[in-house]
Amino acid sequence: MKFQNDSLPITSVILYLVGDALSCQLQLPLYKMKDELKEKFRSQFHKDPERVFFCPGRVNLIGEHIDYNGGEVMPCAISLGTYLAVSRNQEKIFRFRCLNFPETADLHLQSSYSKTGKEWFNYPLGVINEFIKNGNIVSGLDMLFYGNLPIAAGLSSSASVEVLTGFALQAMFQSSFSMPEIALLSKKVENEFIGVNCGIMDQFAVAMGKKDKAILLNCDTLEYEYLPFETGDYILTIINSNKQRALAESKYNERFEECSAALKLLKKELDVENLCDVDVDTFQAHHHLINDPVLEKRALHVVTEYQRVQEAKEALNMGKLSAFGELMYASHNSLKVLYEVSGKELDTIVEFCKGYDSCIGARMTGAGFGGCAIALIQKEKLGDFSEKLIPYYQTRIGYPPSVFASDIGEGVKSL
Ligand code: GLA
């Protein structure tokens, strides 16, 4: 993502090469970000913001392309995210500004809105639209957004903006949605206003994240529990392939349709609601019903990935991080071979990780088709890992990846 306003520091732990030396940019604390944003708000709107909010992005540890198939996923919130400084105005105008993008919008309060073009403000606008429909908005708002999540990198920047807006509207207008309801409303915006058939995972993760915990979320019932994600000598590392996710939305919707088609065929003999209701043995006994090699591969990924989530839960509960790491590698392989959502860039990163002694697991995370991989790297080797991965990747792909080290953080909050 190219920042339009260079005077605001990018806040993340980014490791990169300057010549031959590894350099590191550290994350600013949240209170410092709040001050920075307040100042920018003042120069935009000539008044103080009433409130400042933060919503993180997420990574999914395991359970990929499982949420819209009714199974359990295991995401966690990260330390990068999106900020919003906001104040009411009496002119009944929604003023959208963002430090990352030059496009602005000033829209008069009306009974409903629809998506206009592909501009960033469609995401908060969709959430405002839902709140208006529910009778929850009574004045205009001056809004200044800023994000330090790389866009379209599979770290849920859109869910972060949606949940952030929902949480802010809830606080500004005292509506009574619970956090899971804000996540559901945000998913509805993504499905109906933006037009992507995503599941609930991203919105739920950024709303409900907890420090040093993975969320085990049942996407069918929305029951959830927090699992210990104690990485000990290892650190959760995010590697952005920096590949633009061309066709990501249409390919994502295609996978969604393929899963629905496979489920429909299995339902001829099986009494199931979701693909994740089918366990691996039952699938092996009934896969002939699908009779289409592509659909069969898609469904096989789903049923085996769901089994890996169960095994991953056990591994975390028993503190067996290396068993968890093995499951990450197996998940990546399935996404590459069966679900076909990886790609040369993500595969190159995971291949490097497999050959790197101090890495115990790696996989692509999120929808795929570019975006990010995650890896568990021995803390003291993080610098060495980046120093070696960056040229390895650059030689094969033609441009460098970015390496981030992230804490597992809290969900959306007021600053
Ligand atoms: C995207 C979607 C999620 C989920 C993942 C794949 O991030 O928004 O709902 O389907 O892809 O696991």
Per-residue pLDDT of the chain (415 residues; tens, 9 = 90+): 233 333 333 334 454 444 444 444 445 556 678 888 999 999 999 999 999 999 999 999 999 999 999 999 999 999 889 999 999 999 999 999 999 999 999 999 999 999 988 899 999 999 999 999 988 877 899 999 999 888 778 899 999 999 999 999 999 998 889 999 999 999 999 999 998 888 999 999 999 999 999 999 999 999 999 999 988 999 999 999 998 766 566 788 899 999 999 999 999 999 999 999 999 999 999 999 999 999 999 999 999 999 999 999 999 999 999 999 999 999 999 999 999 999 999 999 999 999 999 999 999 999 998 999 999 999 999 999 999 999 999 999 999 999 988 888 899 999 9
Cβ neighbours for 49, distance < 8 A, ≥ 6 positions apart: 37, 38, 41, 85, 86, 87, 142, 144
Q: Is the CB of 64 under 6 A from ligand 1?
A: yes
- Around 221, how many Cα atoms within 13 Å sit in the side-chain half-sphere? 8
358-389 confidence digits (pLDDT tens): 999 999 999 998 999 999 999 999 999 999 99
Closest Cα to residue 374, out of 397, 349, 355?
349
CA quadruple 215, 402, 191, 65: dihedral positive or negative? negative
Neighbouring C-beta atoms of residue 249, cutoff 10 Å:
17
Q: Is the CB of 190 under 6 A from ligand 1?
A: no
Cα–ligand 1 centroid distance for 308 (angstroms): 17
- CATH 3.30.230.10 assigned to domain 13-229? The reply is yes
| Sequence ranges of the chain with CATH classification 3.30.70.890 | 235-406
Q: Of ligand 1's atoms, which has the minimum distance to the CA of residue 196?
A: 8
Radius of gyration (Cα) for the chain, nearest Å?
21
- CATH 3.40.50.720 assigned to domain 235-406? The reply is no
Residue of 61, 65, 251, 259 to test ligand 1 pocket, by largest number of atoms within 8 Å of CB: 65
Residue nearest atom 1 of ligand 1, based on CA coordinates: 367
| Sequence ranges of the chain with CATH classification 3.30.230.10 | 13-229
Cα–ligand 1 centroid distance for 77 (angstroms): 14
**pTM greater than 0.75 (yes/no):** yes
Structure tokens at 20: 């031959």
pLDDT for 190 equals 93
Residue nearest atom 8 of ligand 1, based on CA coordinates: 198
36-88 confidence digits (pLDDT tens): 899 999 999 999 999 999 999 999 999 999 999 999 999 999 988 999 999 99
- Residues with active-site annotation: 202
